[in-house]
Structure formats: C-alpha cells, structure tokens
C-alpha cells in the first residue's frame, strides 16, 4: 500500500500544484474568504467528495466515507495581508512556480497544507476509505486573528465533534504535538490633561506608562522556561494615547500586550502577574483582556475574548504514536516530533475541547507571515502521501482517545 500511495501522490502532483497556485492567487484575509471558499468548494466537488457544504460562519467541509469514527483534517484558508509590497521579490498573488517551489501569500501558512489535505481525500476515494471511518476535510476561516474561533462554532453550533484532528499548518514535514497559548491584554493608564505649554498642571499618562513599559520588558526575561513548549513570553505590540489636542497633555495611554503561555501558566495567573507589577499598581492602571466582535465572510457576527489556551499531547498518546508509525511506514524514516512556536486552531480542538490533536504540514514555520512565503512542490506531495498513510493507519487503530 505504501508504494501505491507514493505512486498516486506523484500522479496527482501536477493537479495539486495547479490548484494551490489558483488559491494563492485569490486574496483571502480574515473575513474576506468568500472567493477562495467558493474555489475550494468547486475543487472538492470535482474531486468526488461525498458531501460538500458551508456552515453559517463560512467554514467549508468536504466529507469522504460514512463510518462512525470521525477524523478531521483542518487547514485554514484565510491569510495575513502582504504588508509592504516592496518587501516581496515576487507578486504575492501570482502563485509563482519556479525551480520546484511555489511562492505567494499563504503558500506555507497555510494553503499548501490545505491543498494537500483536499487531494488526500480524493486519493482515499481511489484507495478506499476504512469502513468505520469518515474523513472531514475542513477549510476553516478567521484563524489568523482569532485562532480556534472557527472550531468553537464547529463544535458548539454545528455539533460536529471529531474523534481526532490533524492540523495542516507548516511543520517542515515534522509532527507537532502542541503549542504555547496566546493571551492579549490591555493596560489602560489614566492621566489629567492640561495645556501643553504648562505640562506641570496636568498628569501625563504617557509618562506614567513609562515605568510599566520597562517592567514588562524585565518580566519577559524572568518568565519560566521549564517546558518542551519553551518559555512564556510577553511583549508590548501597540501603544496609543489620547489627549484633547496635540497641544495638550495626554489623559490616557493604552498598552497592548502579547502574552504567550507555557505549561503551568493560565490567563488568570498571567493577568495577576501584570496587575501585581509595582509600576502598574503605582499608576493605578486597569488591566483587561480585550473582547472583539468578529464578522465572517457570510455576515455572521461572533464575539470572542482574546484568550487562547496552551495545549500539549503526551508523546506516548496513541494518536501521536499512530502518526509516527504512519510516517515510518510511508517514508522509512523516524519523524521529527516537536511543537509549534506559533498558535493554531489546536487552542480549541485540544485546548478547549480535549479532542486529540496533532499537526503535520508542508512548508517551513519560519517563512509564515513573511515576504518569503513559499512551499516546495515535493513537500506538497510528501504531505499528501502522509495524510493518506495516516488515515489508513488511524483506521486500523480503533482506540485513539486515551
């Protein structure tokens, strides 16, 4: 069967790469995924998926098989924007293929993995899906800014709860079993405005925030690092102030924090850590977790709090062992098993709902969100082969929830 998978993967290479180039050419930032969802839906239908549909949030599903055990392979179809176009050496929406590499926004993060997963479903129709397995390939939306939100809707509103989830984020063809959590915080410092010609008459909120900025930088160096996930981290990503005019002392300053949570850290402990900084107490600052109202490409509005938990699968979990076994069987080599630096939809599937979750994808994590966004053709084929091998292996191991 391994040779059959290899042969079929190579035979599908040209179509797979052409499809990826098509969807790279369609801009699809968060909340604007409608056109790419439509293109992917057309591809799933033409590839013979048993059922294809879109939920009210705009997530796209393609189902193969009708077994009771449900395996979901997830890839988000939204991307970040291109940033400064001058930093790109290629057109980010051309889907350029050169010397065996596909370039463009979303090539690695993560339309490449999604495209391979979609073609894996097609391959399973040729190979034969295990009798008791249903495969659900998900082109999820809104992940880049609100990771996991799509899966909260899928589980809680669509009432779809898979037995296991495979994420296709870039892993450079390694197996990933976890990630740090992500938490946003806002620190609001209040002051008293006055005329800028006599600043001593007021209380400058920007100056009051100065010691807080220094303390947060120091806190980052003190955070713990005794986990396979790496150390926790905190950084200021935005500073905004307000004043009656540019000729007046600032009466408020808001600092926006990006906090990454490792094992043993929670949103509660992280917020308390900031509130208990001497500079925060001295300034009488308010610390909060922001909440956003998100509008999807279907017009659906959803509220989300900017708190995304860490998650980590045990290395000896049967799902991880299945992935390692499938990799060894298909490629004859031991897989690299590790964790992501960035955040994924696993914050919901595993972090919130404790659904066994792993990751495997083409592309390098370090080129995600950069003007060097790219994926190798051969890696797309390797990912396609792995997904098929994993589905078959998973179908042969009935007890994967331990």
Query: What residues of the chain score a pLDDT lower than 50?
Result: 402
Active site residue 143: yes
Q: Output the pLDDT for position 399.
A: 62
- Specify whether the CB–CB gap between 263 and 176 falls below 8 A: no
Q: What is the pTM of this model?
A: 0.93
Q: Catalytic one among 55, 78, 109, 365?
A: 78
Distance CA 106, CA 102 (A): 10
Q: Output the pLDDT for position 316.
A: 95
Q: Catalytic one among 33, 143, 147, 377?
A: 143
Q: Output the pLDDT for position 297.
A: 98
Nearest to 296 by CA among 157, 185, 167, 159: 157
Q: Output the pLDDT for position 213.
A: 98
DSSP 56-83: TT--EEEEE---SEEEEEEEE--B----
Active site residue 78: yes
- Cβ-based neighbour number of residue 306 at 10 Å: 20
Nearest to 27 by CA among 39, 18, 36: 36
Q: Which domains does the chain have, with CATH numbers?
A: 2-179+310-396 (3.40.630.10), 181-295 (3.30.70.360)
DSSP 123-185: HHHHH---TTEEEEEEEE-STTTSTTHHHHHHHHTS----SEEEE-S--TT-EEEEE-EEEEE
């Amino acid at each position: 069967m391994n040779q059959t998978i290899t042969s079929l993967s190579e035979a599908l290479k040209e179509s797979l790469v052409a499809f990826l180039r098509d969807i790279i050419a369609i801009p699809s930032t968060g909340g604007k995924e409608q056109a790419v969802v439509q293109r992917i839906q057309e591809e799933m239908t033409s590839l013979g998926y048993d059922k294809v549909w879109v939920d009210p949030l705009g997530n796209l599903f393609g189902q193969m098989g009708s077994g009771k055990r449900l395996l979901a392979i997830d890839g988000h179809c939204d991307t970040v924007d291109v940033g400064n176009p001058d930093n790109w050496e290629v057109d980010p929406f051309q889907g350029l293929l050169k010397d065996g590499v596909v370039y463009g926004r979303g090539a690695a993060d993560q339309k490449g993995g999604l495209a391979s997963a979609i073609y894996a479903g097609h391959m399973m129709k040729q190979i034969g899906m295990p009798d008791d397995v249903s495969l659900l390939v998900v082109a999820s939306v809104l992940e880049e800014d609100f990771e996991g939100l799509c899966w909260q809707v899928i589980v809680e509103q669509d009432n779809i709860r898979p037995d296991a989830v495979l994420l296709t984020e870039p892993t450079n063809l390694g197996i990933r079993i976890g990630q740090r959590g992500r938490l946003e915080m806002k620190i609001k410092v209040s002051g008293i405005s006055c005329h800028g010609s006599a600043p001593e008459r007021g209380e400058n909120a920007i100056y009051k925030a100065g010691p807080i900025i220094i303390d947060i930088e120091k806190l980052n160096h003190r955070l713990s690092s005794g986990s396979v996930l790496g150390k926790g981290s905190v950084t200021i990503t935005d500073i905004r102030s307000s004043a009656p005019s540019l000729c007046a002392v600032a009466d408020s300053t808001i600092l926006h924090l990006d906090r990454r949570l490792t094992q043993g850290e929670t949103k509660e402990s992280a917020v308390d850590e900031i509130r208990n900084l001497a500079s925060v107490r001295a300034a009488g600052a308010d610390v909060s977790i922001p909440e956003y109202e998100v509008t999807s490409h279907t017009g659906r509005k959803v509220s989300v709090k900017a708190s995304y938990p860490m998650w980590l699968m045990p290395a000896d979990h049967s799902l991880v062992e299945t992935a390692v076994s499938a990799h060894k069987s298909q490629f004859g080599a031991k897989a690299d098993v590790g964790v992501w630096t960035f955040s994924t939809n696993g914050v919901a599937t595993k972090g919130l709902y404790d659904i066994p979750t792993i990751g495997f994808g083409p592309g390098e994590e370090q080129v995600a969100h950069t003007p060097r966004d790219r994926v190798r053709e051969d890696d797309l084929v390797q990912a396609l082969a792995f997904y098929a091998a994993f589905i078959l292996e998973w179908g042969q191991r009935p007890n994967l929830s331990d």
